[in-house]
Amino acid sequence: MATEVLEGLLEEDDEVVQVWYLLGWLFYLQLDKPDPTEDAESIRKSARTHLTKVKKLYMKLHCEDPPMLEHTEQLLGELGGELVADDDDEAGPSVDGIGDDFIQSSEDEEEDEAMEH
């Protein structure tokens, strides 16, 4: 239930550090009481993925919640550390510098010209 609510919040805005933190912590806590239908290793990976995203967003957005960052680092330490970029497929591809990859189409140019007039 809590997972569904938090994942719904991520769908609305995926740059809210606290939501990623709560999901990561939730997955971490699920390791103590594993659901027999779920694989413990996939839960561990989900926790690491979400908590790694917390650290990245924390730095990117210049958050000011040192206790949250400290707890995130503690949890990641217990889980085996941050996931490296290659293993970070659940969090999605990096969008750093993505603007350079787009080429303006003729439709975009027409819209820009229409807005100028």
Angstrom CA distances, 20 to 15, 17, 64, 117, stand at 8, 5, 15, 44
pTM over 0.75: no
pLDDT band at residue 85 using 50, 70 and 90 as cut-offs: low
pLDDT of residue 39: 85
CA 110 to chain centre: 36
Q: Residue 16 class from Cβ within 10 Å (0-12 exposed, 13-18 middle, 19+ buried)?
A: middle
pLDDT of residue 4: 92
pLDDT band at residue 56 using 50, 70 and 90 as cut-offs: very high
Render pLDDT for 1-20 as a digit per residue (tens, 0 to 9): 888 999 999 999 999 999 99
For 24, the token pair is: 């990561």
Say which residues have a Cβ less than 8 Å from residue 58's Cβ, sequence separation at least 6: 17, 65, 68, 69, 72
pLDDT of residue 26: 94
Helix (H) or strand (E) holding 17: helix 17-30
CB 68 within 8 A of CB 18: yes
Closest CA to 20 of 68, 66, 64, 62: 68
CA 54 to chain centre: 6
For 86, the token pair is: 């290659």
Render pLDDT for 26-43 as a digit per residue (tens, 0 to 9): 999 998 886 777 788 889
Is it the case that residue 110 has pLDDT exceeding 90? Answer: no
